[in-house]
Amino acid sequence: GTITAIEKEITNSTDFELVEIPNLHLSQGWMDPSVSFGEPGYEERETIENGLKLASKSGFTAVALQPNSNPVIDNQSQIRFVLDKARNQATTLYPIGALTRGSEGVDLAELFDMKNAGAIAFGDYKKALQNANLQKIALQYVQDFDGLVIAFCQDSSLKGSGIANEGIISTRLGLKGIPALAEELHVARNLFLLEYTGGKLHIPTISTQGSIKLIKEAKAKGLQVSCSVTVHNLVLIDEVLTGFDTRYKVSPPLREEATRKALIESVLDGTIDCITSDHNPLDIEHKKLEFDLAKDGTIGLESAFGALGTVLPLEVIIEKLTASRLIFSLELNKIAVGDKAEISLFTTTEDWTFTKESIQS
């Protein structure tokens, strides 16, 4: 609905439901810039309906849906399909279209058609485009309709068969390491391409100190680049892998404590523009396996706000959970009379333990 009055006390209406909770706060509606729901094709992981109900209970009024379904969301009919599935929910779904056909990194997908159908950006989820020329052409092409390219950064040859952050922990556990260089090399390449082509680029889920430095320098040059970080990279480090628990197997991998602190510092100084849960539910057949065989990914919507409260001040959390609207050129609703009532409700003082029974994903 629409906000019709803001007063210290509103008494002239009888047809409303009063929401009264101790320590209740409200803010502009939060948006998660990266969620995966599975539908179509992987409904056993999560349906769009369940995912949006979950997002609303987690405080998010909007989510950007990644295209990693089956088939991949790489054409206008797929965009219309997910938008149709998302009707009549409290949380709004904004689809991200695949940058390349089938997210295979060979040919550009139907970007302009998808934009007209409702796509807010284009990127291949967790797949770095190894073809630099195709990345360049994409950045040039989308400028005609003010499109945004999302470029996950990871050099596949440097990553190799790595499954954990390259460092003391991976060496001690006998896990093949992913060097920070694998991410930084692609960040540097993509920023060079952006400087050459112009346009807008979003680098999702950065995880290394080198990436922070490169993005900071690019912003100082005036390049239109934005970036995000995951909740789990802000609150967890690679030491949790000691028990080989595959729930901690994520991409990019959890890094060491010095990098975690640097990521938090970059959230505070504004280098990192927004925070994502990177919610990616996976079925047990793909998770409860030996560490090197398990898929990357973890759920995160339900625990995002509570977890962030352990490492960041409240004002910063709210700012970074609403900032992705500006990155995707969406309207940021104000809390004012006449505006759409798009608000997130939360408390700040209670402790809560996230248990298996809490999980609704």
57: which 2 tokens?
């209970």
Q: Tell me which residue of 201, 170, 176 sits closest to 188, measured CA to CA.
A: 201
Please list, in sequence order, all residues whose beta carbon lies within 8 angstroms of the beta carbon of residue 307, skipping any fewer than 6 positions away.
231, 232, 234, 235
Please list, in sequence order, all residues whose beta carbon lies within 8 angstroms of the beta carbon of residue 181, skipping any fewer than 6 positions away.
155, 158, 210
Location of structure tokens 């210290």: 8
Phi, psi for 214 (deg, rounded to 5): -65, -40
Apex 280 CA angle, 228 and 185, nearest 5: 45
C-alpha span between 228 and 324 (Å, rounded):
9
Apex 210 CA angle, 127 and 252, nearest 5: 30
Show the beta-strand stretches assigned E in the chain: 25-28, 30-35, 60-65, 92-97, 121-122, 149-150, 164-165, 177-178, 200-203, 224-230, 274-276, 343-346
> Do residues 275 and 320 lie in contact, with contact meaning Cβ atoms separated by under 8 Å?
yes
Q: Which of 74, 124, 155, 278 is catalytic?
A: 278
The amino acid present at 95, given as its one-letter code, is P
Q: Tell me which residue of 89, 94, 58, 65 sits closest to 360, measured CA to CA.
A: 58
Q: Tell me which residue of 123, 117, 109, 41 sits closest to 80, measured CA to CA.
A: 117
Catalytic annotation on 278?
Answer: yes
Cis check: omega of the bond before 40, within 30 degrees of 0? yes
Cis check: omega of the bond before 22, within 30 degrees of 0? no
Active site residues: 278
